[in-house]
Amino acid sequence: MQSAIDTPLDIQKIRQDFPILDQQVNGRPLVYFDNAATNQKPLPVIHALTRYYEGYNANIHRGIHHLAEQATAAFEASRRAIQEFLNAKHWQEIIFTYGTTDGINLVAQSYGRHFLKEGDEIIISTMEHHSNIVPWQMLCEEKGCILKVIPVNDNGELLLDEYEKLLSEKTKFVSCVHVSNALGTINPVKTIIDKAHAVGAVVLIDGAQASSHLELDVQALDADFYVLSAHKLYGPTGMGVLYGKRAILDAMPPYRGGGEMIKEVTFAKTTYADLPYKFEAGTPNIADVVAVKTALEYMAGLGKEAIAAHEADLLHYATEQLAGLDGLRIIGQAKHKIGVISFVMEGIHHQDIGVILDQQGIAVRTGHHCTMPLMQRFGIAGTTRASFAVYNTRDEVDRLVQGLRRVQKMML
Amino acid sequence: MTINEKQDEIIDEFDLFEDQLDKTQYIIDLGKKLPPMAESKKTDENRIMGCQSKVWVDAELKGDRLYFYGDSEPTAQISKGLVGLLIRVLSGEKPEDIANADLYFIPRVGMGNLITSLRAGGLASMIERMKAYGRAYSTVKQ
């Protein structure tokens, strides 16, 4: 049952780049299907991290010694790499954060607190991760803004006509996920952005799930903000990116105070640094920023289109195979999806599924996936989610199906 | 049988299984044998927090012995089995013995991820609730 698709990728060779995959879990070869939570890191990324600490660890920007210069150069080279990856117009538009959640909070706290006022409306969608709900709720509580929510249909697709009804001159901000972590749905973000702009609203796109699967072009999208996490694109944890249009970022006040973000400090007054440093207070996560460039190079080396084609094949194959299991219902059957399959099984709690799959060496995620309102929309407490990355195979999908048959045998 | 004798018996039973899956099956089957709890007892007060699935535990003092009743939402069969296992060890014992019980069988039965996973949060909460009943009724008696 090995993959026989038109992918130019040699998956077995790729798997050798990911040493973590080569291990036994509970006496069986590991199947890692929790990629939407975080994907695994290839050797070049791991090596980039150790090279940094072994060779040129130093605090960046103000040092005048050799190592500091080397570290600064590598750090800023990563910024340019991200700029290219997102096709941002200016390198100053790339702000390093601790992750997607951090980026959204930065925008909510800086842009939101400064520019939004009582009665202004913020639109999000039903399929947002809690990290794209709670920061806006906090802002609404503080400023008296009103949160509106785009509903989804039974397939897990946004209802765009309902979105249009929500839009008005009161809409000041739209924050929407590019790809749903719980369902895999790819949202039509270009349309969402254009419609928001038509009423003068500013738009943030949560690209956490999209970044390793889709070609990104923030200029073509005309996104005002785009946020992502490095650890979901084969890079290190604890590092993310906020892209913002230069004019908007320039107008925003700093979010955190400290080193790096200042021009001059006296006890009478502090003046702030220019972009992007104004938003990067404190010593940043230098090693992980440096290594993310390697992750982007790794993905580019494989080819994002080829990766997407391989994952699409796995999605198609898994959808077909899972359909053969009695009582299994896939939650989220959007026309446009990435390689994420969320499902429920009649009479079996998702956590029991997760435990018994784990005992067979298969790693999936179970629960509400930090999307409780979305689960409520579907009338469920949670799902079991299998999510695919470039190193997964059809054989592993077969293991999942066998594993689920075992679950059914034990439970029913 | 004392709490420790029951624990030793359970350890011996689990020793018969080499495979994690067989141990889990055994726990599921224990859950299936657990008498269902009256719906009226499935209250928020009796709900064990910290479990991803819904689990309830109730207790009743009869003479000098404390008896436990437990249940889970119908689909959560592993949780139900774990409640069943704890009931088997602790139910029908003196409150002070329950409060002071050293539940050494849990690490010894080698239930692997049942204990170490998120569910352990739930298991720990179940144990804590039962011991709290033990402490409360010991105090009442004094």
Residue A375 phi/psi, 5-degree rounding, is -60, -40
The pLDDT of residue A2 is 43
Mutate to test the interface with A, among B52, B72, B79, B111 (most CBs of A within 10 A): B52
Q: Do A410 and B25 touch (CB under 8 A)?
A: yes
The pLDDT of residue B141 is 56
Q: In A22-48, which positions are buried (b, 16+ CB within 10 angstroms) versus exposed (e)?
A: eeebeeeebbbbbbbbbbbbbebbbeb
Q: Do A359 and B78 touch (CB under 8 A)?
A: no
ipTM of the complex: 0.88
Q: What is the CA radius of gyration of chain A?
A: 22
Q: Do B77 and A352 touch (CB under 8 A)?
A: yes
Chain A closest CA to B21's CA: distance in Å? 6
What is the four-CA torsion angle of A76, A82, A83, A87, rounded to 10 degrees? 170
Confidence of residue B113 (pLDDT cuts 50, 70, 90): low
The pLDDT of residue A6 is 56
Tens digit of pLDDT for each residue in B120-142?
Answer: 557 888 999 999 999 999 976 55
CATH class held by domain B3-141: alpha beta
Instruction: Give the nearest partner residue to B113 out of A348, A359, A382, using CB atoms.
Output: A359
Please report where in the chains the tokens 């014992």 appear, as a residue.
B93
Chain A closest CA to B114's CA: distance in Å? 7
All residues at 6 or more sequence positions from B19 whose CB lies less than 8 Å from its CB, including other chains: none
Give Cα separations from B46 to A148, A287, B81 (angstroms): 36, 49, 17
**Mean pLDDT of all residues belonging to chain B:** 88
| Best CA proximity match to A221, nearest among A98, A100, A77, A89 | A89
Instruction: Give the nearest partner residue to B24 out of A348, A351, A410, using CB atoms.
Output: A410
Compare B92 and A4 and report the one with higher pLDDT.
B92
Separation between Cα atoms, residue B30 and residue B26, nearest integer Å: 6
Separation between Cα atoms, residue A95 and residue A297, nearest integer Å: 19
Query: In this model, does residue B115 exceed pLDDT 70?
Result: no
Give Cα separations from A301 to A44, A278, A298 (angstroms): 12, 33, 5
Beta strand pairing call for A121-125 and A328-331 = unpaired
Q: Do B114 and A356 touch (CB under 8 A)?
A: no
Separation between Cα atoms, residue A87 and residue A186, nearest integer Å: 20
Query: In this model, does residue B116 exceed pLDDT 90?
Result: no
Instruction: Give the nearest partner residue to B53 out of A26, A351, A359, using CB atoms.
Output: A351
Query: In this model, does residue B114 exceed pLDDT 70?
Result: no
Mutate to test the interface with B, among A405, A408, A410, A412 (most CBs of B within 10 A): A410
All residues at 6 or more sequence positions from B29 whose CB lies less than 8 Å from its CB, including other chains: B81
Six-digit token string for B46:
């009796």
- For A225-262, the DSSP string reads EEEEEGGGTTS-SS-EEEEE-HHHHHHSPPSS-SSSSE
Q: Which residues of A fall below an 8 Å CB-CB distance to B?
A: 26-27, 347-349, 351-352, 354-356, 358-360, 366-367, 382, 406, 410-411
- Could you give all domains of chain A from N- to C-terminal order, each with its CATH number? 11-42+303-411 (3.90.1150.10), 46-300 (3.40.640.10)
The pLDDT of residue B120 is 52
Q: What is the pTM of this model?
A: 0.93
Q: What chain A residue is nearest to B20 in terms of C-alpha separation? A: A359
Instruction: Give the bridge partners for A25, in sequence order.
Output: A28
Q: Do A348 and B75 touch (CB under 8 A)?
A: yes
Mutate to test the interface with A, among B17, B18, B19, B21 (most CBs of A within 10 A): B21
CB A16 within 8 A of CB A410: no
Q: What chain B residue is nearest to A403 in terms of C-alpha separation? A: B21
The pLDDT of residue B53 is 82
CB A39 within 8 A of CB A391: no
Please list the active-site residues of A: 370
Query: Other C-beta atoms within 10 Å of B50: how many?
Result: 16
Q: Do B119 and A349 touch (CB under 8 A)?
A: no
- For B9-31, the DSSP string reads HHHHHHHT--SHHHHHHHHHHHH
CB A197 within 8 A of CB A248: no
Three-state DSSP class for A135? Answer: helix
Tens digit of pLDDT for each residue in A315-347?
Answer: 999 999 999 999 999 999 999 999 999 999 999
Q: Do A349 and B76 touch (CB under 8 A)?
A: yes
Per-residue pLDDT of chain A (412 residues; tens, 9 = 90+): 444 455 689 999 999 999 999 999 989 999 999 999 999 999 999 999 999 999 999 999 887 899 999 999 999 999 999 999 999 999 999 999 999 999 999 999 999 999 999 999 999 999 999 999 999 999 999 999 999 999 999 999 999 999 999 999 999 999 999 999 999 999 999 999 999 999 999 999 999 999 999 999 999 999 999 999 999 999 999 999 999 999 999 999 999 888 888 888 888 888 888 999 999 999 999 999 999 999 999 999 999 999 999 999 999 999 999 999 999 999 999 999 999 999 999 999 998 999 999 999 999 999 999 999 999 999 999 999 999 999 999 999 999 999 999 999 999 8
The sign of the dihedral angle between the CA atoms of A337, A338, A339, A343 is: negative
The pLDDT of residue A1 is 40
CB proximity B100 to A under 8 Å: no
Residue A244 phi/psi, 5-degree rounding, is -145, 145
Separation between Cα atoms, residue B108 and residue B111, nearest integer Å: 8
Confidence of residue B111 (pLDDT cuts 50, 70, 90): confident
The pLDDT of residue A7 is 62
Q: What chain B residue is nearest to A410 in terms of C-alpha separation? A: B25
The pLDDT of residue B109 is 85
Where exactly are the structural domains of chain B? 3-141
| Best CA proximity match to A210, nearest among A174, A176, A167 | A176
**Contacts B74 to A, Cβ<8 Å:** 347
Beta strand pairing call for A121-125 and A146-150 = parallel
Residue B114 phi/psi, 5-degree rounding, is -65, -30
**Contacts A348 to B, Cβ<8 Å:** 75, 77
| Best CA proximity match to A241, nearest among A215, A217, A206 | A206
